[in-house]
Each structure stands twice: as C-alpha cells, then as structure tokens.
C-alpha cells in the first residue's frame, strides 16, 4: 500500500517537473527565436571586470560596452548588491533583449563568514553540518547579489604537494561523494528560484587532483579502471544530487584537455550520467588548449563547443571565433544553440526571467556576518580539528596553567581564513591569542612571543604575499625573536606553539616540493622542546605536511588547518576542553615526500610488503605507512570497539546483511567518535584496493556510555567497475572491517554467493 502510494507520488512529481520543463523549453525556444547569432554567442561569454580579488592572470576589457551590446552572459568577481545592480541595470536598460546576467563567484568555504578550508571541513565527517555550511554560504552570497557558486570542488587528491588539496575533501571517493552531495543540496536547496539558494558548480571535471608531481595545471594520465573506481565518484555524486553546473578542469585526460574532451563532457557526463545542466570552462582553459598544442584559438574554441562545453570563462575564444567557425562549417548552429540553451536554462531556473533583480536586495545585507553565522563558523571549525597526538593528557589545558603562547601564527589575523576566501576579510578573523584570552577571561596566565617568522625565506614570503601581507618578516633578528620566546617558555607551565603555513602557501598555484614546516619554525620548535616544558603544537596548514622530525618532541599536536573567521575562538574551545576534538583525517599525512602518493586504499601488489623478504614492495629507508593514516584522529576520551557481529556470514545477490559493533566511551568526558566501515575484497578479477571506506557514523557518547552501531551491507556496496567497465559484484570472500581509522580495525569474514 505504502509502496503504491509512493510510486503514485513519484509519477505525480515527475509529471509536475515534466510540465515545468515543457514550460521552460517553450519559453527558451521563443526567446532564442528572437536572438541573433551574436546574441547567442554573447550568452556563452562569462567575464570578470576584475573588481574583486584576481583569480587568474587575464582580466576582461570593455566589460560595460560588451554588456550593453548583449555580448555577455554572466559576470564573476562582481560582488555586493549595489555593484551587481549596476551591472544588471546595464543589461536591462541598454541591451536589445534584456536577458539578465548571472553572477558567479568562488564561494568556497562560506562567504563573508568564512568557514574552515574545505579539507578541514571534510575532517568533521559530519555531512549534516557540511550541508548547513553550504546553506549559510548560499544565504550570505545571495544577500550579496550572487546566484552562482563555483563550488564544490570534489577532486580526489592524494598528493599533498598539490596546493589545491586545501579546496577538496581529501583522498577518498566514498567520503568525497557524501560531501559532494551534501554541498550541492546545501547550496541549491529544493528551489533554485528561491532568493536564498544559488547554482552550485561541481569542479574540476575531471581528475584535476591527479596532476603529475603535484604541480598545478599539470597533465593527468590514468587508466579508466582507476578513474572509474577511484576518481569519478564524487563528481557523479554531485550530478546525482542535481548539481546545476559543472566546471571543466585545466588538465588533459588521456591526452585531451578536459575542456575539449567530448568523451568527458558529452559521452560520460551528459549521456552516461544524464547531466542536464550547463558546463562552464575554467578560467581561460579553452584558450590554454593552445598551450596544450591543440591548435589556435579558433580551433580549440570549436573543439570545446563541439565537445559539449557551454560557457567560456574569461577567455572570449567563443566570442571572438565562433561566428567564423560557423561560417567555415567548423561548428554547427546546433552546437551554439545547445550551449545557449544551457545558459538560458540556468538563468530560467534561478528565476531571473521572472525577476532579474531577485538576488539584488540591499536590505538583505543584515543577513551577512550575523552572530549566528559566526557561531556556526566557530562550531564547524572546532569539529574540523584533528588531534594527532596527546601524551600524558597534556590537553585540555587547565585554566590555572601559565601558558606561553608562541609562534608566528599565534597572534595573526592574516592567515586564519585560508586560501580561496575571496569575500572574507582577514581583519575580521579572531587570532588564537584573542580566542585564548577570551576563554580564560583575563590574560593573567598568558604570555606571548612570536618566536620566529613564518619563513625567513624572502622569496617564499613574496610568493605568499600576492593577495596581501601574509608573511611579515620581523625587523628583529631570528636569534632575538627566539630568545624572547625561550624566556617566556621557561617561566610557563606549558607552551602552546602555533605554527604552520601561511594562507597562500596552499591553494591554487601553490604547489610545494618540500612540504615541511619552514626552517625558521622547525628551529623554533626544536628550541622549545629543549626547555623541557610540555609543548602543544597547534598546526595550521592547507595540506598534510610532512611532520617527521618536527613533532617528536611535542606532547600534543592539534591539526587545525586554516580554520576561518572564528579560528581563534574555536582553537581555544578545543585547547581548553570546552569542545572535545572529534575530527578524523580525510587525507593521509606522509612520512616523507618520497612516499607520495600515499593513501590507505593502495593496492597490495604481487609482492606485499614483508620486512623479512628483501624482494617485497617497500623502501629501504622509510616505512610504507604514512605518519598518520586516513580516518585517524584522537579525542580527550578513549573509545573502545567490541563485539563486531555480522547478521549473516553469507550474502545472496540482491540481499543485505547488517554489521554491528559496540562502541564505548571509556574515558571520563563526553565525546564524539566517527565509526568507520571498510570492505576488503579478497578475490576480484581486477586488483582491488587494500580496503575501501563504505560507511561511517558520527556519534556522540557520554562518558561511560555505549552504543551499538549498525551498518547495512548490500550487494551494491560490494560492487566495482570491472575490466569492461561494468558495475558488478563478484562472488567470493570479503572482510568487513570496522574501526576508528583506516589502520586500526577489526573484521569479520563475509561471503557473497
């Protein structure tokens, strides 16, 4: 009965959306019948007047003139209701057909209320919270006149040299897919025409995270097997969640730049995945196909539109060459019509044809940077922190302790927001020192010294200072700074050393070959350890750093990423135990750069690592294992896993079983734990990863409390893309692992009949 009702409802919903689609199609068909070729091509042009922070090296010219003559479909870098209105007015008063502009921006981790960098957010493993972060970002961005967010970035990334690992959700396709879905649903809500929601844009399609050598914009080459099983899932999850737009990536895939790859954009995305929305290029990525040596601007623009790419970001290759290509029959009118329709559909869904000023409401400025949004930023930041070490319960700090707060990032505002905080104002962020002072009410027990520069390397500093002063090299000598720090350390009970990367040492075009702490800070830490005082290292970074050799002397290590506008308060919350840390790594921390890529789902190889066997897969000079594995993270309490049970040890095709485990909070404080389910396939027709994350639950347990956690395992969960790229589950043996991270698990055997 229930099922019947459900299917009747589904048919009704499908009927309504069919009718809505028909209405939209008719509207657009009528509109397009009035458009000239130039106006259609104009809709494909997305440009930036460069009024905001530059996000690429080219800035568009004569933007105003182009808008008036119908040569622009959308703008980005124009933020704020008044500025957006000015631009929309140009179209509405001067252009022939008055087709409203759409306004995009890199709303990546919050808008003006900046949340932690996405890599940090992903370590919360809390999809409800992550979704809410996108809801709030959309609310603030739309109050600022925007209706299109270039987010989420879902590139699987296993090479921390690549600076853009900061923008994604780490190394794992399952976790990445859950987060991709949460972000899309958060941004878009259930009504794109609402003034509080905007178009999401999943990026960078595809495989950008696998750039060779971790060098940005570099080439990518991988087997389809690896693509399908390890890299594509998060993009697909975003498409399945209804993402309205997709951004093509800079890299090539199988020798074809993504922006010109018909296989990627049309065969896979539109045909196989049934993506119905608009595809936009990345910043001048069509033009850059010429650098990839695919031909001149006319040739590559023709290739891109024929491949299925609808909107050209900044490069204006479409604007300047498509007409000629049409005349020379290098593109068809149908290509241009398709692309134009996709852009117009996006605008239609936003409700811009009903009201071009829908997102322009200066009265909504009160919805930006509200106390509630800041409170949310503080909460999500504290959930993103990962406690990597805590010896002798050094943390949480006790209020009576005399704390020496030391480090170049300890009293800093410039580096709290992290990369891609396009609309965030660093000056509004809370430094760690302020957070700790507020936490301890008075600062009687707190003394501060900078101790070292973020780096003494002036060239590196210069590169990190492109968007403003992030690395401020002190006028004092390094020795004088160190002496001051050691003096306060010696007269303290505990040292809190706040060290790490400046914001712009990660992010776009910020690859690093040495991903250690800069030498100045290493020196500081070693000197602090020598004082014999317990040292708590609070580590800011946009990537997993190589910490080998840097943290051995530390009593505690708290990884806090770049934590956003409320960084200092959130860090103090965790240091003083107001919040018990619960973050788990979404990306492995390498032992050394030489191991990269290092990730938990590596294959076992034909000669699995064996210390007793010379001829096995290993290094002579370092372990195979990362320093901290995926899924890892400590708490101020201790969780015990016991009594793992499967409801059956055999599974029939199409059937399901449950795995249950008891998790007990054995400590004396309440805490949250992320219980992780991994599946290991013991026999497969293609080589499987050692194990794969297939489920997780974050639960809150009071001190002493136990909970039985249940995972449903069905055949779908055991499937993979086989050698013929068919999605199959193969009979045979599996191990069902449950544990607190990818390394420390217990398992039960399961057979698939």
Catalytic positions are 282
- Angle formed by the axes of helices 371-384 and 567-575, nearest 10°: 50
For ligand NOJ, the closer CB: 286 or 517: 286
Cis check: omega of the bond before 597, within 30 degrees of 0: yes
Regarding 109 and contact with ligand NOJ (CB under 6 A), the answer is no
Q: In the structure encoding, which two tokens stand for residue 598, read together?
A: 């290092």
For ligand NOJ, the closer CB: 115 or 589: 115
Return the H-helix or E-strand segment holding 159.
none
Q: Which of 125, 150, 448, 639 binds ligand NOJ (CB under 6 A)?
A: 150
**Smallest separation (angstroms) from ligand NOJ to the CB of 343:** 17
Give the burial class of 372: count Cβ atoms within 10 A of its Cβ; 0-12 exposed, 13-18 middle, 19 or more buried. exposed
**Smallest separation (angstroms) from ligand NOJ to the CB of 288:** 11
Regarding 50 and contact with ligand NOJ (CB under 6 A), the answer is no
In angstroms, the first-to-last Cα distance of the chain is 32
Taking CB under 6 A as the rule, which mask of x and - marks residues 56-95 in contact with ligand NOJ? Answer: x---------------------------------------
- Restricting to residues 154-213, name those near ligand NOJ by CB under 6 A: 203
**Smallest separation (angstroms) from ligand NOJ to the CB of 245:** 11
Contact of 524 with 482, CB cutoff 8 Å: yes
C-alpha to C-alpha distance for 298 and 329, rounded to whole angstroms: 12
Q: Tell me which residue of 692, 745, 725 sits closest to 171, measured CA to CA.
A: 692
Q: What angle do CA 361, 365, 370 make, to 5 degrees?
A: 145
Q: Which of 103, 205, 231, 283 binds ligand NOJ (CB under 6 A)?
A: 283
Q: Within 10 A of 682 (CB to CB), how many other CB atoms are there? A: 12
Q: What angle do CA 641, 645, 647 make, to 5 degrees?
A: 150
For ligand NOJ, the closer CB: 32 or 53: 53
C-alpha to C-alpha distance for 511 and 502, rounded to whole angstroms: 13
Residue count, binding to ligand NOJ (CB under 6 A)? 8
Q: Which of 106, 310, 316, 566 binds ligand NOJ (CB under 6 A)?
A: 106
Strand partners, 105: 149
Q: Which of 43, 55, 382, 415 binds ligand NOJ (CB under 6 A)?
A: 55
Position of minimal CB gap to ligand NOJ: 55
**Smallest separation (angstroms) from ligand NOJ to the CB of 54:** 9
Strand partners, 496: 405, 536
**Smallest separation (angstroms) from ligand NOJ to the CB of 203:** 6
Contact of 491 with 443, CB cutoff 8 Å: no
C-alpha to C-alpha distance for 76 and 409, rounded to whole angstroms: 32
- Restricting to residues 354-373, name those near ligand NOJ by CB under 6 A: none
**Helix H segments across 395-494?**
432-439, 458-464, 478-490
Integer angstrom CA distances of residue 446 from 457, 571, 752: 30, 15, 60
Integer angstrom CA distances of residue 702 from 202, 318, 574: 38, 60, 17
CA 636 to chain CA centroid, nearest Å: 27
Strand partners, 278: 245
Q: Write phi, then psi, for 212 (nearest 5 degrees).
A: -55, 130
For ligand NOJ, the closer CB: 126 or 508: 508
**Smallest separation (angstroms) from ligand NOJ to the CB of 150:** 4
For ligand NOJ, the closer CB: 171 or 288: 288
For ligand NOJ, the closer CB: 202 or 352: 202
**Smallest separation (angstroms) from ligand NOJ to the CB of 283:** 4
- Restricting to residues 388-447, name those near ligand NOJ by CB under 6 A: none
Q: Write phi, then psi, for 40 (nearest 5 degrees).
A: -65, -45
- Restricting to residues 504-533, name those near ligand NOJ by CB under 6 A: 508
Contact of 78 with 103, CB cutoff 8 Å: yes
**Smallest separation (angstroms) from ligand NOJ to the CB of 209:** 12
Return the H-helix or E-strand segment holding 62.
none
For ligand NOJ, the closer CB: 311 or 644: 311
- Angle formed by the axes of helices 371-384 and 127-143, nearest 10°: 140
For ligand NOJ, the closer CB: 83 or 737: 83
Q: Tell me which residue of 363, 360, 372 sits closest to 133, measured CA to CA.
A: 372
For ligand NOJ, the closer CB: 246 or 397: 246
For ligand NOJ, the closer CB: 150 or 600: 150
The overall longest dimension of the chain from CA atoms, in Å, is 80
The DSSP call for residue 466 is T
Q: Tell me which residue of 96, 73, 100, 78 sits closest to 88, measured CA to CA.
A: 100
For ligand NOJ, the closer CB: 246 or 579: 246
Contact of 581 with 563, CB cutoff 8 Å: no
**Smallest separation (angstroms) from ligand NOJ to the CB of 156:** 15
**Smallest separation (angstroms) from ligand NOJ to the CB of 554:** 35
For ligand NOJ, the closer CB: 314 or 494: 314
Integer angstrom CA distances of residue 717 from 446, 648, 657, 713: 52, 16, 11, 6
Contact of 572 with 625, CB cutoff 8 Å: no
Can you give the length of the chain in residues? Answer: 753
Regarding 282 and contact with ligand NOJ (CB under 6 A), the answer is yes
**Smallest separation (angstroms) from ligand NOJ to the CB of 52:** 9
**Smallest separation (angstroms) from ligand NOJ to the CB of 367:** 24
- Restricting to residues 450-509, name those near ligand NOJ by CB under 6 A: 508
**Residues within the interface to ligand NOJ (CB under 6 A):** 55-56, 106, 150, 203, 282-283, 508
């Amino acid at each position: 009965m229930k099922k019947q009702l459900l299917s009747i409802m589904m048919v009704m919903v499908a009927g309504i959306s069919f009718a809505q689609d028909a209405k939209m199609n008719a509207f657009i068909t009528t509109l397009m019948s009035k458009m000239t070729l130039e106006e259609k091509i104009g809709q494909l042009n997305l440009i930036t007047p460069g009024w905001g922070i530059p996000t690429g090296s080219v800035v568009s010219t004569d933007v105003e003139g182009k808008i008036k003559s119908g040569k622009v479909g959308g703008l980005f870098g124009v933020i704020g209701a008044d500025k957006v209105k000015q631009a929309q007015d140009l179209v509405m008063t001067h252009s022939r057909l008055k087709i409203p502009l759409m306004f995009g921006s890199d709303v990546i981790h919050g808008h003006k209320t900046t949340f932690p960098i996405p890599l940090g957010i992903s370590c919360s493993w809390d999809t409800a919270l992550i979704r809410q972060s996108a809801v709030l970002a959309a609310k603030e961005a739309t109050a600022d006149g925007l209706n299109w967010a270039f987010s989420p970035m879902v590139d699987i990334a296993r090479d921390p040299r690549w600076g853009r690992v900061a923008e994604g959700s780490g190394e794992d396709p399952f976790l990445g897919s859950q987060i991709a879905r949460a972000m899309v649903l958060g941004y878009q809500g259930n009504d794109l025409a609402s003034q509080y929601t905007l178009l999401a844009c999943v990026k960078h399609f595809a495989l950008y995270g696998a750039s060779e050598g971790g060098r940005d914009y570099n080439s990518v080459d991988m087997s389809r097997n690896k693509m399908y099983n390890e890299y594509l899932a998060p993009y697909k999850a975003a498409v399945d969640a209804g993402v309205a737009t997709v951004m093509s990536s800079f890299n090539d895939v199988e020798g074809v730049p993504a922006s010109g790859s018909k296989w990627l954009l049309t065969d896979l995305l539109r045909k196989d995945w049934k993506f119905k929305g608009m595809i936009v290029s990345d910043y001048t990525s069509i033009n850059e196909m010429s650098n990839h040596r695919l031909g001149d601007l006319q040739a590559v623009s023709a290739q891109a539109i024929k491949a299925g790419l609808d909107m050209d970001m900044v490069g204006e290759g479409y604007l300047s060459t498509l007409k000629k290509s049409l005349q020379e029959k290098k593109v068809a009118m149908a290509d241009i019509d398709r692309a134009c329709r996709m852009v117009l559909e996006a605008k239609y869904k936003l409700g811009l044809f009903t009201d071009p000023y829908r997102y322009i409401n200066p009265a909504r400025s009160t919805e930006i940077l509200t106390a509630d949004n800041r409170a949310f930023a503080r909460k999500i930041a504290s959930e993103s922190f990962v406690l990597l070490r805590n010896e002798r319960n050094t943390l949480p700090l006790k209020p009576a302790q005399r704390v020496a707060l030391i480090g170049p990032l300890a009293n800093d505002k410039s580096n709290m927001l992290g990369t891609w905080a396009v609309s965030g104002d660093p000056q509004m962020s809370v430094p760690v020192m302020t957070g700790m002072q507020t936490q301890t009410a008075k600062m009687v027990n707190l003394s501060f010294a900078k101790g070292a520069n973020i780096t003494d390397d002036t060239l590196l500093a210069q590169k990190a200072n492109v968007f403003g002063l992030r690395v401020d090299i002190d006028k004092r000598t390094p020795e004088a700074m160190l002496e001051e720090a050691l003096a306060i350390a010696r007269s303290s009970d505990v040292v809190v050393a706040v060290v790490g990367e400046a914001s712009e040492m990660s992010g776009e075009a910020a690859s690093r070959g040495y991903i250690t702490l800069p030498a100045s800070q290493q020196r500081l830490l070693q000197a602090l350890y020598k004082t014999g005082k317990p040292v708590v290292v609070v580590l800011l970074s946009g990537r997993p750093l190589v910490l080998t050799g840097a943290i051995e002397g530390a009593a505690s290590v708290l990884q806090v990423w770049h934590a956003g506008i409320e960084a200092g308060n959130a860090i103090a919350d965790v240091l003083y135990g107001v919040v018990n840390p619960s973050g788990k790594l979404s990306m492995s921390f390498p032992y050394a750069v030489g191991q990269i890529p290092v990730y938990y789902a590596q294959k076992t190889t034909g000669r699995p690592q064996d210390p007793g066997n010379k001829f096995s897969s290993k290094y002579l000079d370092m372990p195979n294992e990362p320093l901290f594995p995926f899924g890892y993270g400590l708490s101020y309490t201790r969780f015990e896993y016991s009594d793992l049970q499967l409801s059956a040890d055999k599974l029939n095709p199409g059937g399901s079983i449950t795995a249950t485990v008891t998790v007990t909070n054995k400590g004396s404080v309440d805490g949250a734990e992320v219980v992780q389910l991994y599946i290991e396939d013991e026999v497969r027709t293609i080589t499987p990863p050692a194990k794969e994350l297939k489920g997780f639950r974050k639960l809150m347990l009071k001190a002493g409390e136990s909970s039985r956690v249940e995972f449903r395992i069905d055949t779908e969960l055991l499937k993979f893309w086989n050698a013929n790229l068919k999605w199959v589950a193969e009979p045979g043996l599996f191990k069902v692992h449950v544990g607190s991270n990818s390394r420390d698990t217990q398992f039960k055997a399961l057979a698939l009949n």
